[in-house]
Amino acid sequence: MREFGGPEVLRLEDVPDPEPARGENLLDVRLAGVNYADVHARGNTYLAPVELPYIPGNEVVGTTPDGKRVVALTRGGGYAQKAAVHRRLQWEIPDEVTDEQAVPLALQGNSAYHLLFTVAQITKGQTVVIPAAAGGVGTLAVQLAHRAGARVIALAGTDEKRRLALELGATAAVDSSDEYGLAERILDAAGGPVHAALEMTGGATLRQTLDAVGPRGRLVVYGFAGGQLADVPVHTLLQKSITVAGFWLPHLYSDRTLPLAASMRQLFDAVANGTLKIVTGGIHPLADAAKVHGVLNSRTGTGKFSLDPTT
């Protein structure tokens, strides 16, 4: 992309191979994951501003120079045939896990895991609200929370997406297509206030979700897909002793206590033993990146979309 804007700014071009920096490998990319963060980068609303020209893509499955198949996190550059990746941010994929199963685990899988267990600190028997429950992070978060013994209240905008959330283990699924009355619908579905909620829409949806959180509950914010930031009402936080936290996965990239390595092991094991299902939106040619972004913009897609630079 040589300018910011709609999906049409994504164009297929030939560019020089990236030059790996110290500590990096040059991967031959097999699949590039598409994430909502890429939509923010394209629209110049990403948390970390990007410089043009820019190649989007923050997670890839690729092959290392010595032939290992890995899934890796990048800081852009993933929508390409080759990507430079730090060795600390790549993990060898077990034979039992396919490329398509592995590609969402690095960014969306780690995000879902750490949102639930590192930040929200979900435990067995607690009730948690998970938004965009049919999306990439949402489908994984619903399953991870269910596996941990939590009660999941899934938010989704269509009947089809709500059915999917229930199939993945949600206790109840709530219509989120209209923020008006959302708090009441969550409270009805949960049978009362919830222990924790994830939030990634912003605006009125954030305030409605906060209203459904009970005393000493937790709200974890990880996006503003609706395009509107929201001020959190301090009176509500004090009145109910609610903790609000923000989360952005790149802040774990340099953590030398290796929290990502530990979560990746658990994610790989869960996929390999069949207890974590990857809901896919399909593999698309790299040249169709703009079309895939159009689907994300319309919020009509389900599951994980990947781009194949070999087609």
CATH of the domain at 83: 3.90.180.10
State the total domains in the chain. Answer: 2
191 and 217 co-located in one domain: yes
126 and 245 co-located in one domain: yes
> What pLDDT score was predicted for residue 258?
82
Task: With respect to residue 137, please indicate whether it lies within any of the assigned structural domains.
Answer: yes
Its domain, for residue 286, covers 7-104+278-308
Q: pLDDT band for 181, please (50, 70, 90 cuts).
A: very high
The per-residue pLDDT for range 3-59, each reduced to its tens digit, is: 999 999 999 999 999 999 999 999 999 999 999 889 989 999 888 889 999 999 999
297 and 240 co-located in one domain: no
CATH of the domain at 211: 3.40.50.720
d(CA 257, CA 47): 24
d(CA 115, CA 295): 25
Phi then psi for residue 67, to 5 deg, are 90, 5
pLDDT at 178 over 70: yes
The per-residue pLDDT for range 100-156, each reduced to its tens digit, is: 999 999 999 999 999 999 999 999 999 999 999 999 999 999 999 999 999 999 999
pLDDT at 300 over 90: no
Say which amino acid occupies 282. G
54 and 116 co-located in one domain: no
Q: pLDDT band for 293, please (50, 70, 90 cuts).
A: very high
Q: Which residue has the tokens 């194949």?
A: 308
Look over the chain and give the mean of its residue pLDDT values, rounded to a whole number.
94
222 and 115 co-located in one domain: yes
**E strand or H helix that includes residue 218:** strand 213-221
Tokens of 55: 């190649």
34-48, 84-98, 262-276: least confident range: 34-48
169 and 83 co-located in one domain: no
